[in-house]
């Protein structure tokens, strides 16, 4: 990548996330030390405009690889110093290695985001910026398809997501490929840390990247990555539309009660099942109830309960994951957190 190409990379970042939107606020950059996050940090520093805000680097040491994890931390601290950024570092409180397989990835992600959310709150960060790329998007969509998913899963990684009421996650590199990242770092003569666990087939996401995607490209469609990105874009647009309909429905049909919500089923029963399912998902998210164990079948049972409320005699009750209970009586459905 030439100097001109480096300028093109920076211009692409400016177009994805204009600096005038964040120059006067605090920005927290999630930097692991890997290629993607190092490129993000270097590029953000390069395009940053003068203003009243500040850019802070956040690094979480998972303590999964012993001395190598500590070396990652040292590397990120040095990089932050070179970029004249304050560096905040968190450490895993317990042994994440005790969780094996894909569960380890989930536990590590949860611990990392918990640290980043706390750091963002303590330092007043308006944005948390992560380095997810187009390749991450492709792998996520394919992972979700294999696991079974709806529109939101097909949409993949959202460009913007609420972390806390005060902080929004931004992913400005979703339009960048790993080859662009690597070329950019080469042009900048910038090294980065490599995690050897990414090269093993111990985790589902790694097998998708290392085995399944190459097989799909070689045997089925050499442009399968582009096809999956188009699918994610179309699903995201459809999901946005359905969510708008769901929000409108809830505005007229739902009211808060102690420990949950009460729904007027006369205002919901006629809606399309997809809109009802999205509305229920919104309620779960607003209440911070666990979504992980809410399978498609559980959502569908609630949708059926709502749509058939006119013909359902007496009272029906559904006990759901996370000690959530749904009780339908006539045209009213109460969804509330029960005593544990």
The confidence score (pLDDT) of residue 95 equals 66
pLDDT at 39: 97
Q: How far is residue 113's CA from residue 58's CA, in Å, rounded to a whole number?
A: 11
In the chain, the domains with their CATH numbers are 3-134+156-201 (3.40.50.620), 232-337 (3.30.465.60)
Strands of the sheet with 260-264, listed across from one edge = 254-257, 260-264, 332-337, 324-329, 315-320
Closest CA to 28 of 175, 131, 133: 131
Instruction: Classify 335 as helix, strand or coil.
Output: strand
Q: Position of tokens 């959310």?
A: 117
Integer Cα distance of 256 and 245 in angstroms: 19
How confident is the model at residue 314, as a pLDDT? Answer: 72
Q: What is the pLDDT of residue 3?
A: 61
Residue 106's pLDDT is 81
pTM of the complete model = 0.84
In angstroms, rounded to a whole number, what is the distance separating the alpha carbons of residues 77 and 57? 8
User: How is the beta sheet containing 167-170 ordered, strand by strand?
Assistant: 86-91, 54-61, 26-30, 125-129, 167-170, 160-164
Report the 10 Å Cβ neighbour count for 222: 10
Q: Retrieve residue 161's tokens.
A: 């997501």
pLDDT, residue 148, reads: 84
β-strands 54-61, 26-30 pairing: parallel
Q: pLDDT tens, position by position, for the chain (340 residues)?
A: 456 778 999 999 999 999 999 999 999 999 999 999 999 999 999 999 999 999 999 999 999 888 999 999 999 999 999 999 999 999 988 766 555 555 778 888 989 999 999 999 999 999 999 999 999 999 999 999 998 888 889 999 999 998 988 999 999 999 999 999 999 999 999 999 998 888 888 788 999 999 999 999 999 999 999 999 999 999 999 999 999 999 999 999 999 999 999 999 999 999 999 999 999 999 998 898 988 788 888 999 999 999 987 766 678 888 999 899 999 998 999 999 987 5
* HSE (side-chain half, CA atoms, 13 Å) at 158: 13
Are residues 83 and 76 in contact, defined by beta-carbon separation less than 8 angstroms? no
Q: Give dist(CA 297, CA 176) in Å, integer.
A: 36
Q: How many CA atoms lie within 13 A of 200 on its CB side?
A: 7
Residue 315 confidence (pLDDT): 84
Residue 198 confidence (pLDDT)? 84
Query: What number of CA atoms fall less than 13 Å from residue 235's CA on the CB side?
Result: 20
The whole-angstrom separation of Cα 234 and Cα 229 is 9
What is the maximal distance between C-alpha atoms in the chain?
73
């Amino acid at each position: 990548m030439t100097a001109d190409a480096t300028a093109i990379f920076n211009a692409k970042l400016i177009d994805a996330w204009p600096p005038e939107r964040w120059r006067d606020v605090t920005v927290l950059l999630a930097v692991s030390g890997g290629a993607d996050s190092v490129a993000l940090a270097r590029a953000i520093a390069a395009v940053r405009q003068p203003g009243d805000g500040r850019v802070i680097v956040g690094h979480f040491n998972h303590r999964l690889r012993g001395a190598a994890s500590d070396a990652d931390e040292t590397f990120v601290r040095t990089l932050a110093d070179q970029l004249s950024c304050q560096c905040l570092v968190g450490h895993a409180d317990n042994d994440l290695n005790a969780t094996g397989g894909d569960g380890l990835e989930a536990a590590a992600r949860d611990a990392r985001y918990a640290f980043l959310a706390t750091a963002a709150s303590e330092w007043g960060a308006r944005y948390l910026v992560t380095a997810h790329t187009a390749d991450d998007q492709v792998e996520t969509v394919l992972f979700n398809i294999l696991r079974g998913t709806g529109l939101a899963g097909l949409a993949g990684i959202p460009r913007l997501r609420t972390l806390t009421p005060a902080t929004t996650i931004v992913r400005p590199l979703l339009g960048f490929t790993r080859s662009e990242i690597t070329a950019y770092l080469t042009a900048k003569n910038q090294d980065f840390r490599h995690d050897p666990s990414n090269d093993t087939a111990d985790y589902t996401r790694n097998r998708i990247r290392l085995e399944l995607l190459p097989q799909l490209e070689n045997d089925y469609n050499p442009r399968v990555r582009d096809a999956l990105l188009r699918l994610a874009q179309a699903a995201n647009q459809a999901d946005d539309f359905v969510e708008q309909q769901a929000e409108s429905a809830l505005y007229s049909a739902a009211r808060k009660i102690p420990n949950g919500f009460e729904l007027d089923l006369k205002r919901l029963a006629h809606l399309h099942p997809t809109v009802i399912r999205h509305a229920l998902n919104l309620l779960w998210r607003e209440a911070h109830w666990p979504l992980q164990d809410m399978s498609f079948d559980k959502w569908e049972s609630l949708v059926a309960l709502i749509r058939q409320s006119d013909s359902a005699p007496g009272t029906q009750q559904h006990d759901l994951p996370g000690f959530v209970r749904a009780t339908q009586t006539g045209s009213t459905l109460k969804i509330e957190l029960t005593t544990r």
